[in-house]
Amino acid sequence: MSDNEVNKFVESEANRRRTFAIISHPDAGKTTLTEKLLLYSGMIRTAGMVRGRKTGKKAASDWMAMEQERGISITASAMQFEYKDRIINVLDTPGHQDFSEDTYRTLTAADSAIMVIDAAKGVETQTRKLFKVCAMHKIPVLTFINKMDLPARDPFELLEELENVLGIKASPKNWPLGSGKQFIGTADCETREITLFEKAQKTGADIVAAKKISFEEARNDKDIKSDLFSQLEYELDLIAEAGNRFNTDDFLSGDITQVFFGSALTNFGLEPFFDSFIDTAPAPRAREIIMPDGERKELDPVSENFSAFVFKIQANMDPKHRDSMAFARVCSGKFERDLLVNHERLGKKIRVSRSLRMNAGERETADVAFPGDILGLINPGVFSIGDTISVDGGFIFKPLPQFSPEVVARIRPKDIGKRKSFDKGLLQLGTEGAIQVLSTVGSGHTETVVAAVGKLQFEVLQDRMRRDYQVETILEPLPYEHGAWIVGPETGFKKPSRALLATDTSGRLVGLFYTEREKDFAAEQNPGFQFLNFSN
Ligand code: G4P
């Protein structure tokens, strides 16, 4: 193939790809929606098999449970499948208690996000946190207001909440016809075409049949109660007059979200949502890179040679393989196995011959990949989070953020003789980004403490220490719940008495505080210093 033909091929493959994450508060319906995406893509024939989660102990990842139960192509980190001639890459962002920095970083590998909101609850804490990260990275967000088959809050009130709480303009694409038991369809806000759904099957196991009728036909449809219709007409008029107009540029820069209403359980409104999503959500776009002199440029996904960055490292996913896997997001060009690439951090060339994707729970060699795809790279100590690899070399992608810790603890090996394995384990888990390893400063002897964004990370840490390094550990939680990177002059920082100062593995100063108020107070007392909630 000539260069031109290769470019054309990469362009058409890149344009087919939609790489996104689904973000939500626990129980809003992310798992159900993901499952239905598989149902509508033809990956599974019936939905509703991931049951009993409330009864038994929840699986480490819902996706892993799905994988085991169905034997389909899912990994704990990314899942690839086709939906109507598009290639979908869904990234897993656990929004549950196992919420961690990993979740945040994974979002940097996404080109867009679907935000699932429970129609009765509105915007909840975890959604807010995840949304903030999307906003920080200017990731376009589409909103699916779920559970419309149950008593729901007023749709206008929900839109207002998106605007007030998240600070994003909301533009409804469709509008619910009724809610709760009376939720029978949706109307397109622009064309007013109405989609009426066949009576719900209780489980939503199969694709739901839908009938499309015009607004005028709906006016005389005997299945639509006249008061419901009048209300819909009134509301659509209101939206036409005062609603936010959707605009692709604003959407791509993260200033406006397109909103859909539906029910993931009964499948109402799903197909219109998925169809609209694959059209509206962006294909892989140019990404910012940093040149050695600090200059920032945009890297075109199509015309440039292969490049990728590592956003996650996971060790021992398969107990049969004791190595760790680096997950890399392809940003430009075509990847072919055995490619020789520049590893910027190490300043050397490496051959990528062990490139994988996970298929049906099995590791499968990935011979080719395109922008938007996620590669699993076997990592014999070569990769760290944030690493850039590229054929041309000479640049890095923007460093991945670290987030200020919310839990801090002292940790030591139970058996002092295991110190060496303990140190090795801590170093590895720090590299993976599972936890942050900090060294205290200023209080006589230096002590190692661990910090993380979610409590569950400590359980993971102790479990991994036990399984992978054969070290039993003693963990003593410390009362610090608010942290910040402190940037400023070398001296002169006034430390509040209850605060703890430490340095991270890159030598940056971190302040740990009991309360948000104490952190704010420390910031006020030290006007010459910046307090950062995430570090780049
Ligand atoms: P999550 O991944 O965001 O945590 O949410 P998940 O999909 O697990 O959904 C949480 C609960 O809400 C599940 O019920 C699920 O069946 C239900 N649900 C999801 N979407 C809808 C919807 O559109 N309408 C209604 N009525 N319910 C919905 P559960 O009883 O907690 O668990 P399960 O035993 O049904 O799995």
Q: Are residues 359 and 425 in the same domain?
A: no
Q: Are residues 445 and 485 in the same domain?
A: yes
Question: Going along 430-505, which residue ranges are E strands?
Answer: 436-440, 448-452, 473-478, 482-487, 500-503
Alpha-carbon distance of 405 to 519, in angstroms, equals: 13
Task: Name the band, by pLDDT with cuts 50, 70 and 90, for residue 70.
Answer: very low
Which helix (DSSP H) or strand (DSSP E) does residue 364 occupy?
A: strand 362-365
Which 3 state secondary structure label does DSSP give 49?
coil
Alpha-carbon distance of 123 to 192, in angstroms, equals: 27
What pLDDT is stored for residue 104 in this prediction? Answer: 80
Alpha-carbon distance of 267 to 135, in angstroms, equals: 29
Pocket of ligand 1 (CB under 6 A): 24, 26-32, 51, 53-54, 146-147, 149-150, 263-265
Most confident of 24-38, 108-122, 197-211, 422-436: 108-122
CATH number at residue 527: 3.30.70.3280
Question: What is the four-CA torsion angle of 252, 253, 256, 257, rounded to 10 degrees?
Answer: 50
Which residue's alpha carbon is at the smallest distance from atom 35 of ligand 1?
Answer: 51
Give residue-wise pLDDT tens across range 175-204. 999 999 999 999 999 999 999 987 655 566
Atom number, ligand 1, closest to the C-alpha of residue 62: 2
In this predicted structure, the answer to whether residue 531 has a pLDDT above a threshold of 60 is yes
Alpha helices in 42-99 (DSSP H): 62-70
Q: Are residues 65 and 211 in the same domain?
A: yes
Share of the chain above pLDDT 70, in %: 88
Q: Name residues whose C-beta falls within 8 Å of residue 2's C-beta, 6 or more positions apart in sequence.
A: none
Does residue 86 sit within a domain? no
CATH number at residue 182: 3.40.50.300
CA of 27 to the centre of ligand 1 (A): 6
Q: Are residues 367 and 427 in the same domain?
A: no
Of the three residues 258, 280, 302, the one that is the final residue of a domain is 280
What pLDDT is stored for residue 282 in this prediction? Answer: 97
Tokens 């622009």, located at residue: 190
pTM summary value: 0.82
Q: What is the mean pLDDT of residues 16-22?
A: 95
Q: What is the mean pLDDT of residues 261-279?
A: 93
What pLDDT is stored for residue 312 in this prediction? Answer: 86
Which residue's alpha carbon is at the smallest distance from atom 17 of ligand 1?
Answer: 29
Give me the domain span that covers residue 57.
17-76+111-280
Q: What is the mean pLDDT of residues 31-49?
A: 78
Tokens 């440039």, located at residue: 304
Atom number, ligand 1, closest to the C-alpha of residue 25: 3
Give residue-wise pLDDT tens across range 364-422. 789 999 999 999 998 777 888 889 999 999 999 987 777 788 899 999 999 999 999 99
Q: Name residues whose C-beta falls within 8 Å of residue 293's C-beta, 6 or more positions apart in sequence.
A: none
Which pairs from 279-282 meet CB under 8 Å and 24+ separation?
Answer: 280/142, 280/248, 280/251, 281/18, 281/20, 281/111, 281/112, 281/140, 281/142, 282/18, 282/111, 282/112, 282/140, 282/252
In this predicted structure, the answer to whether residue 234 has a pLDDT above a threshold of 70 is yes
In this predicted structure, the answer to whether residue 361 has a pLDDT above a threshold of 50 is no
- Of 154, 101, 96, 100, nearest to 124 by C-alpha is 96
CA of 142 to the centre of ligand 1 (A): 20
In this predicted structure, the answer to whether residue 209 has a pLDDT above a threshold of 50 is yes
Alpha-carbon distance of 345 to 296, in angstroms, equals: 17
What pLDDT is stored for residue 26 in this prediction? Answer: 86
Of the three residues 397, 432, 451, the one that is the final residue of a domain is 397
Atom number, ligand 1, closest to the C-alpha of residue 34: 7
Does residue 3 sit within a domain? no
What pLDDT is stored for residue 488 in this prediction? Answer: 92
56 or 403, higher pLDDT: 403
Which helix (DSSP H) or strand (DSSP E) does residue 20 occupy?
A: strand 17-24
Q: Are residues 390 and 407 in the same domain?
A: no
Alpha-carbon distance of 419 to 475, in angstroms, equals: 15
What pLDDT is stored for residue 67 in this prediction? Answer: 44
Share of the chain above pLDDT 90, in %: 58
Which residue's alpha carbon is at the smallest distance from atom 14 of ligand 1?
Answer: 27
Task: Name the band, by pLDDT with cuts 50, 70 and 90, for residue 501.
Answer: very high
Please classify residue 376 by burial: count the beta carbons closer than 10 Å to its beta carbon, then call 0-12 exposed, 13-18 middle and 19+ buried: buried
40 or 189, higher pLDDT: 189
In this predicted structure, the answer to whether residue 76 has a pLDDT above a threshold of 60 is no
Query: What's the first-to-final CA gap in the chain, in angstroms?
Result: 40
CA of 413 to the centre of ligand 1 (A): 41
The count of domains in the chain is 3
CA of 208 to the centre of ligand 1 (A): 18
Alpha-carbon distance of 345 to 343, in angstroms, equals: 6
Of the three residues 374, 397, 420, the one that is the final residue of a domain is 397
Q: Are residues 386 and 421 in the same domain?
A: no
Task: Name the band, by pLDDT with cuts 50, 70 and 90, for residue 133.
Answer: confident
Radius of gyration, alpha carbons of the chain? 25
